[in-house]
């Protein structure tokens, strides 16, 4: 495989525009795969300053909340998977809960007895900032303020909007018009074009306060007050006390064996269990079958459908948008960090004067009476699933796929191509994907081999009706970030060509 090692040093200037460092990179010591060149530059700066993987991942994620505001922000949630060089793994669950004042009767009175997609009652406590703090307290090497320098600079000095972000900004402009603060902040009706410089001085100030005074400043005081007031002005019930009481937690990953690897996924309230079930089921069904054959792909789709259906029964019905950063530092510690505001531009409600939109995770609740029905102080089913894999008991790969319901399906397809089919990482990343949509409709990405596409359609998997996909009427085939350790001990990183990200290593 031909690939040159890549550094992030060429993307340090926030005014210099969007300049990809490369979708694929090799390195001997460190590796970064993340969603934007400025995020990669922030992560590399942390490593260069003596920081570890967690410092780098937090710095990158903070930048992502500035440069990709339709996908993530400090108004959203976070989950992370950390793997030590010896294979010990743990997850950080930084997802927020429903307001204490949310009652079942409120939801029963809504059309369909369910919280609508973008509704004031869909706002849950933003957990990302506390998640950063929890991660830093346990693993951070650099001073907390250093982690936010790049994000503050990007927000204050401006950044050139990247091509995919600009396209999605335009597609989801309709979300920006319902809240006056949101409309003003994100330029409703006049979204920035690719390459146009966008500033967010309000967010820069909040990030300065977080950098100076720690996570508590976000969950108490003026920011918490602005969040509560912004939501309540639209009829929601999120209160300052909900933010003040928020805490994250640490959990042991779920795991399963697949083709010589041990796969690690986050436990509920995420849907990582569907990945493990689908791959275990398919490995049994496909014994003796060419893993690249149409029959194997058909079995993989069927197994995915069964696993997702079980997840819907035990958790709830998932969909949304996310960002992902994977970092391996020079000590061998790896982190996959993912943050999200769920749907693009979340609930469409901005915390007045603070420069960020709030998530709409409450849409993830099922009907009242379901195991994941809405209740006070309850976490909804969550789509964010950072993942990793071990080989011979030690770190082999860290990865994540953004795109709501595509997240587990992307994990399944990538691991099948890498571990079962034996594809190289760039080929597996670029390969056409399929996506099971609502009602067991199957979207197939352009470029899928004809024999596989025909086999899937002949088996009864129909195309979704035109204009029904979540990506402005299109099916979203996700965007992955992936880092793996090769057999010779070197590191390989890959950033999905479907997104604006880069990979870089040293």
Sheet holding 321-328, edge to edge: 249-251, 89-94, 77-83, 334-342, 321-328, 31-34, 502-505
pLDDT above 90: residue 44: yes
Residue range 196-218: mean pLDDT, rounded: 98
Four-residue CA torsion sign, 366, 371, 372, 378: positive
* Cα–Cα distance for residue pair 5/26, rounded to 1 Å: 5
C-beta separation of 276 from 408 below 8 A: no
- Give residues with Cβ within 8 angstroms of 478, minimum separation 6: 401, 402, 403, 406, 407, 409, 410, 433, 435, 496, 498
Give the confidence band of 157 by pLDDT, cuts at 50, 70, 90.
Answer: very high
* Cα–Cα distance for residue pair 187/204, rounded to 1 Å: 17
Q: Please name which of 124, 130, 341 lies closest in space to residue 228, comparing C-alpha atoms.
A: 124
**Cβ-count burial 437-472 (b if 16+ within 10 Å, e if not):** beeebbbbeeebeeebbebbeeeebeebeeeebbbe
pLDDT confidence of residue 315: 55
Residue range 405-411: mean pLDDT, rounded: 93
pLDDT confidence of residue 314: 65
H or E stretch including 264?
A: strand 261-265
Percent of the chain with pLDDT over 70: 94
Q: How many CB atoms lie within 10 A of CB 322?
A: 30
Residue range 63-77: mean pLDDT, rounded: 97
Q: pLDDT tens digits, residue range 223-254?
A: 999 999 999 999 999 999 999 999 999 999 99
C-beta separation of 43 from 58 below 8 A: no
Q: Report the DSSP pairing between strands 479-485 and 394-402.
A: antiparallel
Residue range 255-272: mean pLDDT, rounded: 92
C-beta separation of 30 from 5 below 8 A: no
* Cα–Cα distance for residue pair 383/176, rounded to 1 Å: 23
Opening angle at CA 409, ends 373 and 377, nearest 5? 25
Q: Where are the domains of the chain?
A: 21-267+322-400+481-505
Percent of the chain with pLDDT over 90: 84
Token pair recorded at residue 435: 């996506």
C-beta separation of 129 from 172 below 8 A: no
Q: Please name which of 237, 265, 239 lies closest in space to residue 251, comparing C-alpha atoms.
A: 265
* Cα–Cα distance for residue pair 35/60, rounded to 1 Å: 9
- Strand ranges for 343-465 from DSSP E: 387-391, 394-402, 434-436, 442-444
* Cα–Cα distance for residue pair 239/260, rounded to 1 Å: 48
* Cα–Cα distance for residue pair 360/63, rounded to 1 Å: 21
Residue range 4-13: mean pLDDT, rounded: 41
Residue range 321-339: mean pLDDT, rounded: 95
Residue scoring higher pLDDT (289 or 180): 180
């Amino acid at each position: 495989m031909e690939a040159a090692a890549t550094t992030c040093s060429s993307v340090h200037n926030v005014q210099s525009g969007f300049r990809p460092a490369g979708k694929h990179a090799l390195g001997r010591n460190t590796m970064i795969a993340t969603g934007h060149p400025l995020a990669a530059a922030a992560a590399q700066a942390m490593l260069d300053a003596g920081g570890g993987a967690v410092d780098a991942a937090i710095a990158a994620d903070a930048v992502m909340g500035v440069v990709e505001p339709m996908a993530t922000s400090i108004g959203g949630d976070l989950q992370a998977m950390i793997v030590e060089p010896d294979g010990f793994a743990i997850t950080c669950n930084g997802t927020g809960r429903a307001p204490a004042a949310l009652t079942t009767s409120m939801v029963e009175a809504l059309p369909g007895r369910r919280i609508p997609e973008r509704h004031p009652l869909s706002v849950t406590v933003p957990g990302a900032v506390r998640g950063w703090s929890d991660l830093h307290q346990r693993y951070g090497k650099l001073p907390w303020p250093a982690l936010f320098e790049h994000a503050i600079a990007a927000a204050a000095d401006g950044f050139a909007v990247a091509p995919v972000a600009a396209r999605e900004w335009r597609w989801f402009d309709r979300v920006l018009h319902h809240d006056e603060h949101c409309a003003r902040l994100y330029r409703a009706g006049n979204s920035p074009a690719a390459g146009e410089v966008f500033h967010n001085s309000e967010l820069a100030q909040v990030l300065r306060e977080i950098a100076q005074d720690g996570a508590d400043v976000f969950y108490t005081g003026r920011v918490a007050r602005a969040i509560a007031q912004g939501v309540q002005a639209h009829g929601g019930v999120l209160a300052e006390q909900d933010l003040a009481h928020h805490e994250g937690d640490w959990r042991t990953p779920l795991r399963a064996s697949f083709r010589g690897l041990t796969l690690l996924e986050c436990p509920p309230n995420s849907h990582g269990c569907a990945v493990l079930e689908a791959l275990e089921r398919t490995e049994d069904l496909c014994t003796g079958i060419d893993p690249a054959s149409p029959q194997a792909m058909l079995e993989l789709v069927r197994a995915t459908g069964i696993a997702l259906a079980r997840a819907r029964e035990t958790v709830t019905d998932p969909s949304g948008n996310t960002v992902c950063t994977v970092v391996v530092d020079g000590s061998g510690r790896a982190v996959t960090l993912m943050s999200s505001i769920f749907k693009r531009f979340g609930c469409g409600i901005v915390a007045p004067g603070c420069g960020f939109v709030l998530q709409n995770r409450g849409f993830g609740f099922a009907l009242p009476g379901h195991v994941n029905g809405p209740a006070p102080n309850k976490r909804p089913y969550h789509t964010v699933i950072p993942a990793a894999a071990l080989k011979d008991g030690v770190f082999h790969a860290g990865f994540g796929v953004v795109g709501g319901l595509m997240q587990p399906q992307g994990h399944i397809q990538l691991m099948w191509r890498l571990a079962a089919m034996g594809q190289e990482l760039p080929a597996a990343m670029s390969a056409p994907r399929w996506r099971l949509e609502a009602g067991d409709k199957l979207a197939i990405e352009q470029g899928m081999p004809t024999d596989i596409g025909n086999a899937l359609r002949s088996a009864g998997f129909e195309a979704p009706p035109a204009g029904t996909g979540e990506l402005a009427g299109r099916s979203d085939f996700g965007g992955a970030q992936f880092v793996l350790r090769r057999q010779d001990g070197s590191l390989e990183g890959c950033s999905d060509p479907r997104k604006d990200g880069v990979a870089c290593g040293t």
